[in-house]
Amino acid sequence: MEGVGRWSLGVGTALVAVAVALAVADVVGPAVIVGIAGLLGVGIAGAAALDAAAERWGTRRRVGRREAVRAAERAAEERWRAEHDQAASEEWARVLAEAERRAQQARAARLSRSSGSGGGRDADGGPPEP
């Protein structure tokens, strides 16, 4: 309960007490007026208390909902990363295999050039011996 609610509760309670005292003293007219004002004050305090309770309850619900959403987002992100990491590692393996295949082809081509026609050079690529 905030400031207005507490103030209304205090004033309303005091006015109800005064109304009861006036009713006991057989001063009915002012007792009714003061009693109505006191009940108004207590009613405003009750409304403020209900509003504060509803706000706390709503805040707790929002926090709970927010935490549930964040947990679901984290789980989705972890699933995505796991799938992405697996796809990336498979792609990386394909790239490495292709690079190895090309390197073997290049070695084979160099060996076939150096041992095949000669081209004025010996098998290890140096100049021919006299």
In whole angstroms, give the CA distance from residue 23 to residue 30: 8
Q: Which token pair is 82?
A: 């796991």
Query: Do the domain assignments include residue 129?
Result: no
Instruction: Count how many domains the chain has.
Output: 1
Enclosing domain of residue 43: 3-112
Query: 120 in a domain, yes or no?
Result: no
Domain assignment of residue 107, yes or no? yes
Position 30 in a domain? yes
Flag whether 128 is in a domain.
no
This prediction has a pTM of 0.45
List the chain pLDDT tens, one digit each, 130 residues. Answer: 677 788 888 899 899 999 999 999 988 899 999 999 999 999 999 998 888 888 888 776 777 777 888 888 888 888 888 877 777 788 888 888 899 999 999 888 888 887 765 555 555 555 555 5
Give the number of other Cβ atoms within 10 Å of residue 122's Cβ: 12
Task: Kindly state the greatest CA–CA separation across the chain.
Answer: 144
Burial class of residue 40, CB neighbours in 10 A (0-12, 13-18, 19+): middle
Q: Is position 65 within any domain? A: yes
- 126 within a domain of the structure (yes/no): no
